[in-house]
A and B are shown apart, each in its own frame.
Chain A
Amino acid sequence: MAQVILYNVTNGLIIGTFYVLMALGLSLILNLSNVINFAHGNFLALGGYLAFTLAPALGYWGALLVSPVLTAVIGIAVERLMVRRLYGRDPVYSLLFTFGLAFFMQDAARYLWGPNGLPLGLPDALGQPVSADLFFITWYRVFMVAIVILTVIGLFVFLRRSRVGLRIRAGTLDLETVAVLGVNVRNLRTFNFGLGCLLAGLSGVLAAGQIGLNPNMGDDLLMPSFIAIIVGGVGSLMGTLFGGLLIGMAAALTTAVYPAASEAVIYAILMAVLLLRPRGLMGEEGMMS
């Protein structure tokens, strides 16, 4: 029994880390640009596929570094050329746009890499279990969680300590004032969009090593990420972090007891939060209206 619980706790932690990376990227873009990026799951898939294509040339480690950056570059191009035109308009337009983009990117991935699942090869060292007792914990899982923890710490330090990070946080609260103080808000938003896509690309590479690649691999992560943001509280990245871990854990622990309800429990948490604490666990009053 202890092993079953431990097994599900590790699963929860791993699913939760994916939710967290995905939701943090979504949250960054949502907070600063007021855009719900429906295509975020497709940027995740893109990151995974790019790693698959680059791995023969660069090796796993090279692909792990390069493919998130490439994903970010593509994200920046999309933002510069198209998403940017929609900022001042009714939010329905940016929503429809990213929705269409998601359709397009999913179909493009299917066209370029085929509809069937593909594996992303891992270095041998990462494929081994940690020990015979804990056979379900491979070094890859440890590695994945470690990378996510480091990335999240890096992101928070960046947002708190660097000048650009400070501007992003300030822009979340009051973009107009930030613009008036002489910050180039257009570039800031572009950079921020790229940063969000970088996180999506990184989670794509990590997810590909665990569950393999398929054109709609990001879809299953998208809805829980939305919920993680709402549960954690819109406007609070720390809230998104806890929201993601919370629903990941809740889903995994429910799987141990009653597998069919693992999705339902996520929605139950959502409803409870909307009912009892509408601003989200760590959200500030007024951020959502």
Chain B
Amino acid sequence: MSTVSLDKAKPRPAIGQNHIALAAIWIVLLTAPFWIPRMPLLNLYTDLASKLLVFALAAMALNLLLGFTGVLSFGHAAYFGLGAYGAGLTLRYLVHSTPLAMLLGTLLGGVAGTLFGLLIVRRRGVYFAMCTIAFGQLWYYLAYSWNDFTGGFDGLRDFHREPIGLGPFTLDIGEETRFYYFLLAIFAVAVGLMGLVLRSPFGRTLLAIRENERRARFLGIPVERHIWISFSISCFFTALAGTLYALLLNFADPLSLHYSLSGYFVVMTVIGGMRTFWGPLIGAAVFVILQDRISSMTVNWMSFIGVIFMLVVLFFPRGLLGSIRRRFST
């Protein structure tokens, strides 16, 4: 059942399938602005690719918990939305600085998640999920009803991403292709960091907890503390994605705090493959493109999305990468 590659004993070719796949992923992402707007039939645009990166980052951060720690959070929109509002509020009320907005937004979402994590680390399974959902909605109601400060139902407007000053140079990220590459650079760093976390002894311990919590506990691993730290890391990265979302749209939407979005993150992860590192990226691509296409074709897009959720769960629970990996390994 375990999909972790613990088969270090087997000799491997210098350049394996993994390296080729990894190179392919980065080539596709690096060249996206050139071919995305030119794709026939699909009507895609560069900002959609940017949205994909943002959602992929959030879904991969969630997967740190869901796929690699085995803990079910269904409230990650809270940290995503807090990041978005943190960035938006900073730009609007405090200071016109993109890096500072990202920093403060990430801190807001991450710290909120870390504190809340303390309260719920002892819960498991659906009960953990239920607590995360309920807590997440708190922020939605807060953004919704604190009209003067957050813009209420209409969302937070009147701010936009500012050029970044780097000593003598200024990096203007206003234009959509430039902003895509700015996002991609941050995405690469964040994904690299997450990869490092998962490869570290700490990350391996998380896998041990996922596979058999009781055994991990008997081995003397402080399970609660590990889950808490994993939750916290996941929230920080999700909040980072949220700040990028606000910068992308120049707008903070109360719906980015709503539990529906948490569900979208989870379904992206599942479509791509919960126990694979890159799965959520693939899942985010599928989901973002499908949602964009379906919502432009029919007003009943909710039914389609709902049915997709149900079909994925019933017939395709391993997800795209999960199924591919399984085929290769047998």
Contact = CB atoms under 8 A, between A and B. Distances in A.
Interface of A: 30, 34-36, 82, 85-86, 89-97, 99-108, 110-111, 223, 226-227, 229-230, 234, 260, 263-264, 267, 270-271, 274-275, 278, 288-289
B194 to A, nearest CB: 20
Nearest to B140: A223
Nearest to B303: A107
Contacts of A104: 302-303, 306-307, 310
Given A96-B270, A100-B307, 13 more contacts: A82-B310, A82-B314, A92-B129, A95-B266, A100-B310, A103-B309, A104-B303, A104-B310, A226-B134, A267-B134, A267-B137, A270-B135, A289-B127
Interface in B73-95: 74
Nearest to A36: B126
A245 B306 CA distance: 32
A217 to B, nearest CB: 16
A89 B315 CA distance: 13
B134 A264 contact: no
Given A267-B141, A288-B127, A103 B312 contact: no
Given A106-B302, A226-B133, A274-B120, A100 B127 contact: no
B228 to A, nearest CB: 14
A111 B125 CA distance: 35
B267 to A, nearest CB: 6
A234 B126 CA distance: 11
Contacts, number: 127
Interface in B102-146: 119-120, 122-127, 129-131, 133-135, 137-138, 141-142, 145
B134 A223 contact: yes
Contacts of B274: 92
17 contacts: A30-B130, A36-B133, A82-B310, A82-B314, A96-B309, A96-B313, A100-B306, A100-B308, A100-B309, A103-B303, A104-B302, A107-B302, A107-B303, A230-B134, A264-B141, A267-B134, A274-B120
Nearest to B72: A92
A96 B307 contact: no
A230 B135 CA distance: 11
Contacts of B307: 100, 104
A288 B123 contact: yes
A114 to B, nearest CB: 13
A214 B60 CA distance: 36
Contact of A97 (B129, B134, B310): B310
B305 interface: yes
A250 to B, nearest CB: 15
Given A104-B310, A264-B141, A95 B119 contact: no
Nearest to B270: A96
Nearest to A104: B306
A91 B306 contact: no
Instruction: List the 4 shortest-distance A-B pairs measured between CB atoms, nearest first.
Output: A100-B309, A103-B306, A104-B306, A107-B302
B263 interface: yes
A230 B126 CA distance: 12
B300 interface: yes
B130 A229 contact: yes
Q: Which of A35, A85, A223 has the most CB of B within 10 A?
A: A223
Contacts of A263: 141, 145
B312 A96 contact: yes
A155 B240 CA distance: 48
A89 B123 contact: no
Contacts of A274: 119-120, 131
Contact of A278 (B66, B74, B119): B119
A36 B267 CA distance: 16
Contact of A230 (B130, B141, B302, B310): B130
A89 B137 CA distance: 26
